[in-house]
Amino acid sequence: MRAISQTSPAKDFTPTPRRGVNVSRFLTQTARRIPDHTAVIDDDHSVRWTWRELDDRAEALALTLQAGGVGRRDSVLLVSANHAEVIQSFWGIIRAGAVIAPPNAALSTEELLSISADVAPAAIIVDRAHADFVEALQQTGFTGPVLWIGELPNEADSNAGSGDFAVEEDDPCWYFFTSGSTGKPKAATFTHRHLGAVLMNHRCDLFPVEDENGASLVLAPLSHGAGIHMLAQVFGGTPSVIHPGGKVDPSTLWDSIDGYRITNAFTVPTILNRIVAGYPADRGPADHSLNRVVYAGAPMLATDQSRALERLGPCLVQYFGLAEVTGAITVLRPEEHGTIPVDSAGIGTCGRARTGVDIIILDEAGNEVAPGEQGEVCVAGPTVCAGYLGRADANAESFAHGVFHTGDVGYLDKRGFLFLTGRKSDMYISGGSNVYPREIEELLLTDAEVAQAVVVGVPDAQWGEIGIAIIEPATGNAEVGSEASTTGESGTASERLRALCKSTLAAYKVPKEIHFVDAMPVTAYGKLARKELKAEYSQGRGSAR
């Protein structure tokens, strides 16, 4: 970046601190516009709130938190499975001028205590399933208020006062926790200014025409991307429907979609595949209510995209991003699905830059590369978080050169479409050559008998590292075998998969071994447990063998 001109009248200019827009004002504005329209449906807990009722409940909770000693920028830890009162909590914490800290409710007590130590909560909002965690936290010295999901205030306490909800635009309002797949979760900090930009970006790029006549289905935990998706429904006044039953059961997905006349949903490719598989065979692309099915969190095979388009029609929206950008990096719009060819390695695009976002591809020296050249995917724009809480080391690394470094490797084509080819952290070096597993995994997943594929590099005395492919067979194909295929190639399925790799890939990229597992392990965030697989298959190898 060039130096500031010393002849410019703005060479010493710094912005004047000013009052920002408390993000919860979006809720109040919608409640005034359509007060009696439905905002939240949670039939598991017999809840149906209008926008006015949700706004009143957010106000009541904000006043309760302030009366309980929660100050501006204080953290409020929110630990709960999906529930209508989690939605109330998001809006209420933001309104109070506090910071939402919502870790994944599936984490262990020890993991939750570790996160609590980082964010130092002034209060906690928690469901009864986490009573043991509350007790453990109190044993560490926590003395703040504990508010239980299912028992939150529905109207303001007469003794709570009027409340002061004014904030500065750079006041933090959400600690968005990274998945922790490469270590302890970090708290990516979003201010009112950032979160406002993210929500408007979601509205603009993902579901621009949704309004109060539609409905949004909540499938994933609200602690992460689904929470952003839920909050952004406020602009159209679209109600959020929490999927009954708490778990995504393929047999009930269409009961919810049809019964609630769902028009948009946020999900991941594996669940989208279940939605497609469960769609009744006698119905066509026009025989459902879905306008936008937004999916993210993992790549989706071109064959799966084609099947979804054939069955559901042009309603798919893909986006790519990380916690630090709340997904707001790229978007692949409905009309672009199925029209952008895969690249020479069989990898499809994840779309073009989101509104107001700039994607920069940098080489190892921090120089921007030309279209078509691979490098690290970096991002600039108003949706990028303000930094990690209390992690100067991580900030220095992740925001080098003034942009956010995603850790993903990829390239932009001349039209601006982004193609991801791997993650820097997944790369291994075999015989002096860099290998990015994603290219190999994409190829393995084209085999009809492969449901999941993970390729990791493990130590090897001769090559430094070698590639190991771990395969979860498709349903009904368990007979593919459970033994490893080494360079001696034992087993029909292993031989076929190695032949598939040899037909397309350079020899050094072909996995030296193929292992089969009944089910692929996943993390608490639902991602493939790559780190754990690498550790398991590295034991006793290389110099330690």
Q: Which residues of 168-201 are buried (b: 16+ CB within 10 A; e: fewer)?
A: bbebbbbbbbbbbbeeebbbbbbbbbbbbbbbbb
* pLDDT above 70 (res 477): no
66-86 pLDDT tens trace: 999 999 999 999 999 999 999
pTM of model > 0.85: no
pLDDT on residue 543 = 40
Q: Which one-letter DSSP state was computed for residue 364?
A: T
pLDDT on residue 427 = 78
Domains of the chain: 25-412 (3.40.50.12780), 426-544 (3.30.300.30)
Q: Of the given ranges (149-153, 233-237, 269-273), which has the lowest mean pLDDT?
A: 269-273
Q: What is the mean pLDDT of residues 314-329?
A: 92
* pLDDT above 70 (res 274): yes
pLDDT on residue 222 = 95
* pLDDT above 70 (res 545): no
Residue 114: other Cβ atoms inside 10 A = 15
φ/ψ bin of 140: left (φ > 0), alpha (ψ from -120 to 50), beta (otherwise): alpha
- Range from 299-308, 404-413, 461-470 that averages highest in pLDDT: 404-413
pLDDT-derived band at 428 (thresholds 50, 70, 90) equals confident
pLDDT on residue 479 = 47
* pLDDT above 50 (res 182): no
Choice between 380 and 273, residue whose per-residue pLDDT is larger: 380
The residue behind tokens 């939240």 is 40
The helix (H) or strand (E) run that includes residue 320 is: strand 316-320
pLDDT-derived band at 482 (thresholds 50, 70, 90) equals very low
Q: What is the mean pLDDT of residues 351-360?
A: 96
198-256 pLDDT tens trace: 999 999 999 999 999 999 999 989 999 999 999 999 999 999 999 998 777 777 899 99
pLDDT on residue 478 = 45
197-208 pLDDT tens trace: 999 999 999 999
For every residue of 125-140, which 3-state class applies, written as one string? EECHHHHHHHHHHHHC
Q: Of the given ranges (5-14, 73-82, 160-169), which has the lowest mean pLDDT?
A: 160-169
Average pLDDT, the chain: 89
The residue behind tokens 């349903």 is 475
pLDDT on residue 193 = 95
pLDDT on residue 544 = 32
Choice between 342 and 180, residue whose per-residue pLDDT is larger: 342
505-543 pLDDT tens trace: 878 889 999 999 998 988 765 678 888 898 889 887 754
pLDDT on residue 485 = 45
Total number of residues shown for the chain: 545
pLDDT on residue 483 = 45
* pLDDT above 70 (res 329): yes
pLDDT-derived band at 293 (thresholds 50, 70, 90) equals very high
pLDDT on residue 20 = 92
pLDDT on residue 183 = 58
Residue 350: other Cβ atoms inside 10 A = 24
The two beta strands, 187-191 and 146-148, are unpaired
Euclidean distance between CA atoms 360 and 380, whole angstroms: 8
* Contacts of residue 194, Cβ cutoff 8 Å, sequence gap at least 6: 382, 383, 384, 385, 386
pLDDT on residue 17 = 79
Q: What is the mean pLDDT of residues 141-149?
A: 97
The two beta strands, 75-79 and 99-101, are parallel
429-459 pLDDT tens trace: 786 677 878 889 888 988 889 988 999 988 8
What percentage of the chain exceeds 70 in pLDDT?
93
Choice between 162 and 139, residue whose per-residue pLDDT is larger: 139
Start-to-end Cα distance in the chain: 49
Q: What is the mean pLDDT of residues 175-182?
A: 73
pLDDT on residue 204 = 96
Q: Which residues of 279-310 are buried (b: 16+ CB within 10 A; e: fewer)?
A: beeeeeeeebebbbbbbbbebbbbebbeebbe
